[in-house]
């Protein structure tokens, strides 16, 4: 089969299924089916196994996320294994790493990092990659997520500085941290069904569902933060669109005098930044 014809047929089908970048995704899927880099596609035209390619295409037509089909996703400077057990890392969440870097201009000042609801481990591992003197712990209540985060620590050469624990939020933690990160579930329960099928159908509700108003996780996490942060510590929590004011109020009630926000590339207040001591 001619490669151009294969790609056109796939791109047409993807477009009809409502996929945003059909031509690019057709190339990525074909390269994955052939197990070659995208740039090598033209050399491999003769070796297309239509069955393997069609199986991948069928998964994407069912709106399974590209990252799950390809098996990995880039985040910050890292490449992470993904699985249906956790959220797929998103560029929005890189806003939290930017906020952490801004909070600690001296990269060696961060010694202990905590990531609550670590999932793939993306926030913990990106932080460890930027703060060379840091040791960190990622916590996830889903055993499959905790195992995945541990694999991703090894995959990125960070296992000697990363511990992963399977538990409910910070329940097993006694010590204090310089940097606390979290991307908790924050979608209002009744709004999950309206998200795009890649998210609503293929990502776990346990990583998305923030209860009736989406704020349940913040009500649990924010009051616990003063007891988990070192004196000069900073916590950075991901927010959903429109949640900034409610989350800031919860932070003020927990004793954070000046809860700050950081916007993502779309201009949405994406990160709540909480300094334990106001300088
Ligand atoms: N950002 C995700 C989405 O909108 C939700 C992530 C979360 O609940 N933490 O699909």
Please indicate whether residue 186, judged by its CB atom, sits closer than 6 Å to ligand 1: yes
Instruction: Flag whether 245 is in a domain.
Output: yes
Domain boundary at 62, 87, 111, which? 62
Average confidence (pLDDT) over 157-177: 95
Q: What percent of the chain has pLDDT over 70?
A: 97
Same domain, 108 and 242: yes
CA distance 143 to 108: 31
Residue 169, token pair as written in the block: 């939020």
CB 87 within 8 A of CB 204: yes
Let me know whether 128 and 11 are in one domain: no
What interface predicted TM-score (ipTM) does this complex get? 0.91
Distance 24 CA to ligand 1 centre (A): 24
Q: Is 153 exposed, middle or buried (0-12, 13-18, 19+ CB in 10 A)?
A: buried
Per-residue pLDDT of 1-21, as tens digits, reads 678 888 999 999 999 999 999
Could you tell me if residue 18 is inside a domain?
A: yes
Q: Which residues are annotated as a binding site for S-adenosyl-L-methionine?
A: 117-121, 140, 169, 183
Residue with CA nearest ligand 1 atom 5: 208
CB 90 within 8 A of CB 162: no
Q: What is the pLDDT of residue 1?
A: 62
Do 14 and 101 belong together in one domain?
no
- Ligand 1 atom nearest residue 238's Cα: 9
- What is the distance in A from the centroid of ligand 1 to the CA of 116? 15
Which of 42, 62, 82 is a domain's end point?
Answer: 62
pLDDT band of 44, cuts 50, 70, 90:
low
Domain count of the chain? 2
pLDDT at position 279 over 60? no
Residue 67 lies in a domain: no
- 20 with 121, same domain: the answer is no
Report residue 43's pLDDT band, with 50, 70 and 90 as the boundaries.
low
In a domain, 181, yes or no: yes
Whose C-alpha lies nearest to ligand 1, atom 1? 240
Looking at the domain assignment, is residue 170 inside a domain? yes
Confirm or reject: Cβ of 93 under 6 Å from ligand 1. Answer: no
- Does residue 114 carry a pLDDT above 90? yes
Split at pLDDT 50, 70, 90, the class of 278 is low
Q: What is the pLDDT of residues 47-97, one digit of tens each?
A: 677 788 999 999 999 999 999 999 999 999 999 999 999 999 999 999 999
Residue numbers belonging to the annotated binding site for substrate:
183-186
28 with 99, same domain: the answer is no
Pocket test for ligand 1, best of 92, 185, 240 (most atoms within 8 A of CB): 240
**Are residue 76 and residue 56 in the same domain, yes or no?**
no
Whether the CB of 218 sits within 6 Å of ligand 1: no
Q: Is the pLDDT reported for residue 136 higher than 60? A: yes
Domain ranges, residue 17: 3-62
Structure confidence at residue 45 (pLDDT) = 62
Whether residues 53 and 87 share a domain: the answer is no
- 177 and 211 share a domain? yes
pTM of this prediction? 0.92
Please report the pLDDT score of residue 196 as a whole number. 96
Residue 119 banded pLDDT, cuts 50, 70, 90? very high
Same domain membership, residue 234 and residue 151? yes
Q: How crowded is residue 148: how many other Cβ atoms within 10 Å of its Cβ?
A: 24
39 with 159, same domain? no
Assess if residue 240 is contained within a domain. Answer: yes
Distance CA 267, CA 272 (A): 14
Is residue 114 assigned to a domain? yes
Find the CATH number of the domain harbouring 109.
3.40.50.150
pLDDT confidence tier of residue 39, bands split at 50, 70 and 90: confident
Up-side HSE of residue 87: CA atoms within 13 Å toward CB?
24
Mark whether 57 and 89 lie in a shared domain.
no
126 lies in the same domain as 40? no
């Amino acid at each position: 089969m001619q490669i151009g014809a294969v790609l056109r047929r796939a791109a047409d089908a993807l477009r009809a299924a409502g996929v945003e970048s059909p031509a690019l995704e057709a190339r990525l899927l074909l390269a994955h089916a052939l197990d070659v880099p995208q740039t090598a596609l033209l050399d491999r035209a003769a070796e297309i196994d239509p069955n393997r390619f069609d199986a991948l295409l069928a998964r994407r037509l069912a709106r399974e996320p590209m990252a799950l089909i390809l098996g990995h996703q880039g985040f910050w400077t890292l490449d992470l294994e993904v699985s249906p057990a956790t959220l797929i890392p998103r560029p929005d969440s890189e806003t939290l790493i930017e906020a952490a870097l801004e909070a600690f201009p001296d990269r060696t000042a961060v010694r202990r990092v905590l990531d609550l609801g670590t999932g793939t481990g993306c926030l913990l591992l990106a932080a460890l990659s930027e703060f060379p003197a840091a040791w960190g712990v990622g916590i996830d209540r889903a055993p499959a997520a905790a195992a995945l985060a541990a694999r991703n620590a090894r995959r990125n050469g960070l296992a000697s500085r990363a511990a992963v624990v399977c538990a409910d939020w910070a329940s097993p933690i006694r010590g204090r941290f310089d940097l606390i990160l979290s991307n908790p579930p924050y979608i209002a329960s009744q709004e999950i069904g309206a998200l795009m099928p890649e998210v609503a159908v293929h990502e776990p509700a346990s990583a998305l569902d923030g209860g009736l108003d989406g704020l349940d996780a913040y009500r649990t996490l924010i009051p616990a933060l003063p007891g988990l942060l070192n004196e000069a510590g900073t916590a950075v929590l991901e927010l959903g669109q429109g949640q900034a004011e409610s989350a800031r109020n919860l932070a003020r009630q927990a004793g954070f005098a000046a809860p700050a926000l950081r916007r993502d590339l779309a201009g949405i207040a994406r990160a709540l930044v909480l300094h334990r001591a106001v300088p």
